[in-house]
Structure 1
Amino acid sequence: MKKKILLMAFFFVAQIVFSQEGGRRFFTKIFSVNDATKLELKDDLNQALNAENIYKVQLVTTGTGTKTGAEYIVWYDATAKWQIRAVNLAGNSSNHPLLIVENDAVMVYTKHTTKYSVRAFVEEIIAIENDVRPSIFGAAFHWQRDGDFLYYGGNVGIGTTSAKNKLDVNGTIHSKEVKVDMDGWSDFVFKKDYDLPTLEEVEKHIAEKGHLENIPSEEEVLKKGINLGDMNAKLLQKIEELTLYMIEMKKENEQMKKTNEEIKNENRRIKRNQELLEKQIATLKNR
């Protein structure tokens, strides 16, 4: 009987040790804070957070009448500093509950002048490793939401597992509108000091290169793709150059029309003079 009791006690103690060192635990804390009163987030034994563990902290401000939920991940990194990452914030002003790191401590506060009661629901992962990354929380570690804004710090791949850019999509993107920020635009073509190539020069470049100047070749496009903003600017440059050619051609046509009209008028004048001269000759002959 005594052996059985001892075995049960040993099993009970072993479970407690495992739950404290190799698992996770949950605890709740209540704070009265505002913008001037920031209180340190401590564990359930009122001791400083353990640098070897990772924490998921959910905050709620009570008695506000507004939506105030927040979720953070807290960990101690290799630079020997506490790190926090806001996973989800209903907001980050007024009485919204927030975390901040000050003097190597994780502090709870709000940005309101009035003190509010903030409840902290804490999940502690007992990692026993002071350089572990909070990737253990999966997407919650990477994706962050602040109000209506969702963002991610790394590269995102859709239909691909090797995203080399902020967003790589192996497929079709369907959108009503695409906005591209530009560093410049093509209106320099209309400046007086712009060196507009002659049509002879354009013809020569096409004959030698097989494409317009400053426009990528088919080989380049198939190999590297195109930058939409850059390509639109280059195409606009060619459209503006073409517009200048057309304006110049219109001026030349107008000048040719004017010259032709002058020639016609001169021919009519010559014809009238010739007819008048013929009549004078005919009159002289009849005398």
Structure 2
Amino acid sequence: MKKSLLFIIVLLIAQNIFSQTGGRRFFNKSFYVNNVTLLELTDDLGQSLNTNNIYKVQLVVTGTGTKTGAEYLVWNDVTTASWQIRAVTLSGNSSNHPLLIVENNIVKVYTKHTSKYTVLAFVEEIISNEDDVEPSIFGSSFQWQRDGLFLSYEGNVGIGTTAPTTNKLDVKGTIHSQEVKVDMLGWSDFVFKKEYNLPTLEQVEKHIVEKGHLENIPSEEEVLKNGINLGEMNSKLLQKIEELTLYAIEQQKNTEKLMKIIEEQNKRLEVLEKGK
């Protein structure tokens, strides 16, 4: 009975040791740094970080009176043999906020403040014993990064769809917004330039009869198949509005000319009537 109990205790101890050395381990360090004093992030024994492992590093600055804090993923890229860092969460990236940087292929701790502050580093080390493991083993924290009030993501995002393969954001459903702003590379005011060749109304009519839609405007078939680009479509619609404006101005000028002709003819008729 005693031997069995002793065996169980030894087994539990062995399992506990394995969980600490064969999977994850934790350590913390202290750094006294500023914008010119950058110190290497080493392990608990003062050795350089292990290129076979991945590190989750949480930083905080003491004695600042402001909110500080940061979380990074640190790993070595076997392809380039260089250390990589990814900021998962930053309370800020200026003044006395704690930061990591890779300098001369060394991961260093620092702040952007001229005064030195104590930065505490709480490190979780994933002991993968494999030099080409991607840090995605941490899940979504590998992808989403928060910098103060800003949240960013390097991949494609799908809402209502699991396959956003083409666009940075794919939404299957309705988007409700107070305002949508689209950056443009050009606009349609070229219609008002002297060198613009305004189609005649006869040419417009011919295109409609032959194609069934306005020139440079996608057909119903194209829209139903491919959708529309809001910025591009607004520019094309504005082009047609500006062309219509030019047609209207020209029609107005012609109308005024006709009115003058009619007015002159009426005056002549009045003279002729009085001479009878």
Q: Same fold (TM over 0.5)?
A: yes
1:48-77 CA deviation, whole Å, 9 max, x = no partner? 111111111110001111111111011111
Q: Which residue of 1 aligns with 2:66?
A: 66
Q: Are the structure 2 counterparts of residues 61 and 259 from structure 1 closer, same or farther at C-alpha, using a change threshold of 3 Å? A: same
- Give distance in 1, aligned partners of 2:10 and 2:185: 72
| 3-state SS, counterpart of residue 138 of structure 1 | helix
- Give distance in 2, aligned partners of 1:125 and 1:28: 15
Specify which of 202, 206, 209 is matched with residue 207 of structure 1: 209
| 3-state SS, counterpart of residue 275 of structure 2 | helix
Q: Does 1:54 align with 2:59?
A: no
Q: Which residue of 1 aligns with 2:238?
A: 236
Q: Which residue of 1 aligns with 2:183?
A: 181
Q: Which residue of 2 aligns with 1:265?
A: 267
Q: Which residue of 1 aligns with 2:108?
A: 107
Q: Deviation of residue 14 (structure 1)?
A: 5.0
- The one-letter amino acid of 1:130's match is D
Q: Which residue of 1 aligns with 2:169?
A: 167
Aligned residues: 273
- Give distance in 1, aligned partners of 2:69 and 2:212: 61
- Give distance in 2, aligned partners of 1:250 and 1:202: 19
User: Structure 1: where are the runs of 5+ without partners?
Assistant: 275-287
- Give distance in 2, aligned partners of 1:198 and 1:11: 90
Computing the radius of gyration over CA atoms, which structure comes out larger, 1 or 2?
Answer: 1
Q: Which sits farther off after the overlay, 123-132 or 200-209? A: 123-132
Q: Which residue of 1 aligns with 2:150?
A: 149
Q: Are the structure 2 counterparts of residues 161 and 3 from structure 1 closer, same or farther at C-alpha, using a change threshold of 3 Å? A: closer
User: Structure 2: where are the runs of 5+ without partners?
Assistant: none
1:160-203 CA deviation, whole Å, 9 max, x = no partner? 11112010100000000000000110000001111000000000
Q: Which residue of 2 aligns with 1:20?
A: 21
Q: Are the structure 2 counterparts of residues 44 and 235 from structure 1 closer, same or farther at C-alpha, using a change threshold of 3 Å? A: same
TM score, norm. by length of structure 1: 0.91
Q: Deviation of residue 81 (structure 1)?
A: 1.0
- The one-letter amino acid of 1:250's match is Q
TM score, norm. by length of structure 2: 0.95
- Displaced runs of 4 or more, over 2 A: 1-15
Q: Deviation of residue 4 (structure 1)?
A: 6.3
Q: Deviation of residue 260 (structure 1)?
A: 0.4
- The one-letter amino acid of 1:19's match is Q
Give the fraction of aligned pairs with identical amino acids, expressed as a percent. 68
Specify which of 245, 248, 260 is matched with residue 246 of structure 1: 248
Q: Deviation of residue 15 (structure 1)?
A: 3.4
- Give distance in 2, aligned partners of 1:14 and 1:155: 41
Q: Deviation of residue 13 (structure 1)?
A: 3.7
Q: Are the structure 2 counterparts of residues 211 and 14 from structure 1 closer, same or farther at C-alpha, using a change threshold of 3 Å? A: same
- Give distance in 1, aligned partners of 2:8 and 2:66: 53
- Give distance in 2, aligned partners of 1:41 and 1:11: 33
Q: Does 1:29 align with 2:26?
A: no
